Amino acid sequence: MSESKTGTSRREFLKNTSRIAAASALAGVAAPRLHAAEDNTLEVALVGCGGRGTGAAADALSVNQGPVKLVAMADIFEDRLSGSFKNLNDRFAAQLDVPEERRFVGFDAYKKAMDCLKPGGIAIFASPLTFRWVHFAHAVEKGLHVFMEKPLTADGPTSRRMIKLAEQADAKNLKAGVGLMSRHSRALGQLHDRIQDGEIGDIVTMRAYRMTGPIGSAFSTKWPGQPSELLWQLRRFHSFIWASGGCFNDFYIHVIDHCCWMKNAWPVKAQALGGRHYRHDPAGNLYIDQNFDSYSVEYTFADGTKLILDGRCVSGCAQFYSSYAHGTKGSAVVSKHGDCGAPSSTYNGQSPEKANMIWESQVPADQRNPYQNEWNDLVDAIRNDKPFNEVKRGVEASLVSSLGRKAAHTGQEITFDEMLNSEDEYAPGADTFAMDSPAPVRADADGKYPIPMPGIVTKTEY
């Protein structure tokens, strides 16, 4: 089953709200030139024009606080840029000012797009995470606010780099949003407040599940020989740890993040297991990606509390996609379905039955879309100069995801500090990549890539 049928996704929100968004797209606002005198128009550059980037740009153009205009676009792949431009132009033509000379393709396209913005503009980063620190560094240098998709990092060196860049952004009073939209779910926010007020007592255990069928590009067969190995891996980024953190970071980070939010803490260590059950696709072609098909992680917090995360990408299995918190006085359904699906609810005892319910979230209709909420919150912070920098928290959520992934891939217990301070960088030199650069991992003579081997390869993941 696809993601759109197992939980609330950006694609669903875009589909369900497209007519409302189009009707409120500020069609009556005069279209200023790129450097027009009007200071109330926020200019946006989109870097990474796949589905996520296009969705984030649509959310940006649908904010409820003053005019926003898209003025530049960038991607490594021309077809993704052109497809994104058509999609956005069909819906937000009055808010697009992106002539061909401001549509940039290539590894240096991000600089060209951001250089079209005045200081105080917004850059959207939705390329694979390996470039997140590269793009953020340029934005900070240029004095730009940013919105960046999750996950942010897959290793220790880039995590430390991103935290330093976040500090530099704070020093320049730049606002930075991160696409962990659960933090902007009003239902989860209400639940968080009730948990902090002691409604279910002290949390002792949490459970998070994303057990669905295969999605995205997590499972790949052999590189066909073109385009280049680097470009092909970027097309199939979910399959490679260096490009995405693998399916673990990309798919499981939301339920991990919002459970840690309920606890107001990050785990200090993790032990885990996982495995590859199927090595060939239904046609018999060999899978060459670096992912496991299933994962189970036991995260431990400083006070001994546990978070159990189960993830699976296997067709034909029972599907579980939700999260729960168990306390000394009761329990809670954190996300009823998907990454942050309402309603959230609390219960007497440990069984989430209607007869035991204490409370269920109620959210006004205009605040039920967490993807739109995160953009409304970011733009509100920009326009009203409120503190807003989610990067450190986004890095920490990414580190916790990487912590669980590495524990499963090595078969070792890994601490948060070990993950943060590791010197293993999976894509060194990402800021120098070009069309003819070699890929960070190379196929062997049989077309295979190095894969995790728990208990055999224990110091690194592959």
Q: The CATH number of the domain where 402 resides is what?
A: 3.30.360.10
How far is the C-alpha of 402 from the C-alpha of 276, rounded, in Å? Answer: 18
Give the model confidence (pLDDT) of 109-162 as tens digits.
999 999 999 999 999 999 999 999 999 999 999 999 999 999 999 999 999 999
Residues 280 and 329 in one domain: yes
The answer to whether residue 455 is domain-embedded is no
How far is the C-alpha of 77 from the C-alpha of 413, rounded, in Å? Answer: 39
Question: C-alpha distances in angstroms, 58 versus 65, 95, 151?
Answer: 15, 10, 20
Residues 166 and 230 in one domain: no
Residue carrying the six token digits 């200019």: 43
How far is the C-alpha of 136 from the C-alpha of 432, rounded, in Å? Answer: 15
How far is the C-alpha of 181 from the C-alpha of 447, rounded, in Å? Answer: 37
| pLDDT higher than threshold 50 for residue 7 | no
The order of strands in the sheet holding 145-148 is 103-105, 68-75, 42-47, 122-125, 145-148, 176-178
| pLDDT higher than threshold 60 for residue 107 | yes
The answer to whether residue 287 is domain-embedded is yes
More confident residue, 9 or 317: 317
Question: Helix, strand, or coil here: 430?
Answer: helix
- Please report which confidence band the pLDDT of residue 251 belongs to, taking 50, 70 and 90 as the band edges: very high
Say if residues 398 and 449 touch (Cβ distance below 8 Å): no
Residues whose CB is less than 8 angstroms from the CB of residue 126 and which lie 6 or more positions away in sequence, other chains included? 46, 47, 48, 49, 50, 52, 53, 56, 148, 149
Residues 128 and 230 in one domain: no
Residues 320 and 175 in one domain: no
Of 148, 84, 144, whose CA–CA distance to 114 is shortest?
144
Residue 34 is predicted with a pLDDT of 39
| pLDDT higher than threshold 80 for residue 1 | no
Q: What is the pTM of this model?
A: 0.91
Domain count, the chain: 2
Give the model confidence (pLDDT) of 156-214 as tens digits.
999 999 999 999 999 999 999 999 999 999 999 999 999 999 999 999 999 999 999 99
Query: What is the H or E stretch that residue 206 is in?
Result: strand 203-212
Token digits for 381?
A: 């912070």
Say if residues 68 and 96 touch (Cβ distance below 8 Å): no
Residues 377 and 427 in one domain: no
Query: What would the 3-class secondary structure string for 175-190 be?
Result: CEEECCHHHHCHHHHH
| pLDDT higher than threshold 80 for residue 455 | yes
H helix intervals, 279-390? 370-384
| pLDDT higher than threshold 70 for residue 25 | no
The answer to whether residue 456 is domain-embedded is no
H helix intervals, 276-424? 370-384, 391-410, 416-421
CATH code for position 121:
3.40.50.720
How far is the C-alpha of 57 from the C-alpha of 184, rounded, in Å? Answer: 17
Among 357, 390, 423, identify where a domain stops.
Answer: 390
Say if residues 342 and 368 touch (Cβ distance below 8 Å): yes
The answer to whether residue 453 is domain-embedded is no
The answer to whether residue 14 is domain-embedded is yes
Q: What is the largest CA-CA distance in the chain?
A: 63
Of 151, 163, 108, 165, whose CA–CA distance to 430 is shortest?
108
Question: 274 lies in which domain range?
Answer: 186-366+397-432
Residue 457 is predicted with a pLDDT of 97
